[in-house]
Amino acid sequence: MRTGLLKHSNYMEFLRSVPSFKTLTEDVLSKVADVLEETHYSDGDYIIRQGATGDTFFIISEGQVRVTQQKSANEEPVFLSTLSRGDWFGEQALKGEDVRTANITAVGDVTCLVVDRESFKQLIGGLDNMSNKMYESEEVKARLEAEAVFFSN
Ligand code: CMP
CATH code matching the domain that covers 5-152, chosen among 3.40.710.10, 2.60.120.10, 1.10.645.10, 2.60.15.10: 2.60.120.10
Bridge pairing between strands 88-89 and 78-84: unpaired
- At 142 the pLDDT is 65
Summarize pLDDT for 142-153 with one digit per residue, the tens: 666 677 766 676
CA of 35 to the centre of ligand 1 (A): 22
Looking at the whole model, is its pTM more than 0.80? Answer: yes
Question: What is the distance in A from the centroid of ligand 1 to the CA of 13?
Answer: 25
Ligand 1 touching residue 104 (CB < 6 A): yes
Distance 127 CA to ligand 1 centre (A): 17
For residue range 90-129, list pLDDT tens digits in order: 999 998 789 999 999 999 999 999 999 999 999 999 999 8
Query: How many residues appear in the chain?
Result: 153
ipTM for this model? 0.99
What pLDDT does 46 receive?
A: 98
- Domain positions in the chain are 5-152
